[in-house]
Structure formats: C-alpha cells, structure tokens
Amino acid sequence: MKYFLIMTLILVFAVQISAGDLQGLKKRIAVVDFEDRSGWGHNIGTGLADMLVTHLVKSGQFLVVERQELAKILEEQGLGMSGAVTPQSAAQVGQLLGVELMVMGSVSEFGEKKSGLGGGIGKIGIGGKLTKRQARAVVDVRLVNTSTGEIVLAETAEGEESSTGLDRIRVEDIDFGNPTHWDQTILGKASRKSIEKCVGFISKAMENIPWEGKVIKVNDDGSLYMKPGSAGGVNAGMEFAVYSKGEEIIDPDTGLSLGSEERRIGKVKVVQDIGDGKACKAIIVSGTGMKTGDLVRTQ
C-alpha cells in the first residue's frame, strides 16, 4: 500500500512538471504596420506598430516575428507592410511565417488639444502661456487567425493623458526613434496606454488559439528538425503530436478558408536546441510519413 502511494505521488508530480513545461510555450505572432487614418503622417502607423512589438516582446508571453522577416515575406508576396494587406493575405503570410496570429490595425485618432489658462508667469521670470494639454491616441486593432483567415477579435484601444504646462513643447518634435524623449511627452504616454490595452486584447485572444509548431526537415535516421526551439519555450524532453495537413476547404460563398482536413500521423520528442533557440531537433517516437510543413501540436 505504501509502495503504491509513493508511485502514485511520483506519477502525479511528473504529470504536473510536464503540464507546467507545456504552459511555458510561447505562441508566435507578427505585427503588420498600422494604417494612418488620423491624417497625422510622419509614419505614425509604423511607429505605433513598433511600439506594440516592443511591448509584446517585453511581456514575455509571445515569440514575435522580427519586422525585417515579416517585411521580406510581404515583399515576396507583392504586399506592402500595411495598406495592401487583407485578413486573407495576412493569414497566408502568417502561415508562411509559422505564426498563430497576425495583428493588423489602424490609428484612428492621434494628437493633442490645447486650451489657454492665463497669461505669463512673472514671478519666476518665465514668459509664456499656461495651457491645459490633452493628448489622445486611438488604435483600432484586428487579430487574424492564420489557420482560417478569420478576424477573431476587433477592439478599439484608447489612450489619453493630460497635463498643465508651458506652451513650449511642439508635438512635431516627437521622435519614435528617441524613446527617452518620446516617453516624456503626454502624447507618448497616451500612446503607451493605447498600446498596453492592445497587448491585453492580444493576450486574451491568444488563450483561444492553439499553440502550433512546424516540421522544418525530416532526416533518414528517424529524427527531424522543427520550430520553434527554446526561444518559444520548447525544451528537451517535451513530446508533441505531429499532424499532416490535407486539402484546404474554401467557403464557396465568402471565399474564406474554413481550415483543412488534418490527420495525426505520429509523435516526436525534443532532444536538442539549435539555431539560438529558433529551432530544435527531435526524434520520432511513433508514426511514419512525416514531411516538411507538417504541424506540431501539444496533443
């Protein structure tokens, strides 16, 4: 009885460790430049998209595709970083990149309003008009499931900040490439609030998107290479199911993908991290017929 109890506790502990490991898996995501519908100009869509990428990376929850890698794939597909991208084309690009979710969006409001509160401040020897300044940044964000091309979430992230100060700081001086100065402006603070809300929306949506990896290459010795590796939370000892993707099913009325038929073809176990964590090597535990492009999942 005592031996049975000890073995049961060992098994429970092992299962808990395995589950904990899988919970550390990071889902892959890519961010397309936001469209500027505010009329602001000055590459504001690119600037806020870059801010979002930075915040997603700092959150530690995601494996974010590098902007240069995304730009290269978009160029190869004859698409721009923002305007020419549709949910369907974003899904196609996302599949090529191996990401679960593509982030699209637009900047609908961006700027400051000022209202005068009085004349100069003579006591401290500073001339100028005291103003109340109100900054507002609004991003309409859309999240596309790359497996289906479906928009799984559409939300508006609003950020506001106000301040009372001398009318000496020009909004035109804001520089996305200088975060130290940018963070000190009320428009920078408003933008950050908006972007932080975007991260919250994305985190919530990702809970309903299954984690997925991909087979890169199959070797003759019963091993294969897959992505991601440790950079995405995949470590030696983890086991995954491999699925073969069949013919894509297209809705004849909308032209949208409804997914594809999939067949579980085997199981693999990770043995080695490679490519600075971008990929890993695994051995085939069971199954046959695995090939490049097959999907890797937790179950």
- In terms of domains, do 176 and 269 share one? no
Pick from 66-70, 77-81, 192-196: least confident: 77-81
20 lies in some domain: no
What is the extent of the structural domain holding 229?
Answer: 213-297
Q: What is the CATH number of the domain that holds 116?
A: 3.40.50.10610
How many domains is the chain built from?
Answer: 2
pLDDT of 144 above 80: yes
Question: Which band of pLDDT confidence, cut at 50, 70 and 90, is reported for residue 81?
Answer: low
What pLDDT does 226 receive?
95
Residues 38 and 109: beta-carbon distance below 8 Å: yes
What pLDDT does 197 receive?
95
What pLDDT does 175 receive?
62
79 lies in some domain: yes
* 1 contact partners, CB below 8 Å, separation of at least 6: none
What pLDDT does 119 receive?
37
- In terms of domains, do 254 and 165 share one? no
- In terms of domains, do 138 and 234 share one? no
pLDDT of 18 above 60: no
19 lies in some domain: no
| Between 171 and 121, the higher pLDDT residue | 171
State pTM to two decimals. 0.74
126 lies in some domain: yes
Name residue 274's amino acid.
I
* 86 contact partners, CB below 8 Å, separation of at least 6: none
| Between 44 and 260, the higher pLDDT residue | 44
- In terms of domains, do 131 and 234 share one? no
286 lies in some domain: yes
Q: Model confidence over 257-268: pLDDT tens digits?
A: 666 778 899 999
Give the C-alpha separation, 163 to 104, whole Å.
31
133 phi and psi angles, rounded to 5 deg = -115, 135
- In terms of domains, do 156 and 233 share one? no
Last residue of a domain, one of 206, 231, 261: 206
Last residue of a domain, one of 176, 206, 236: 206
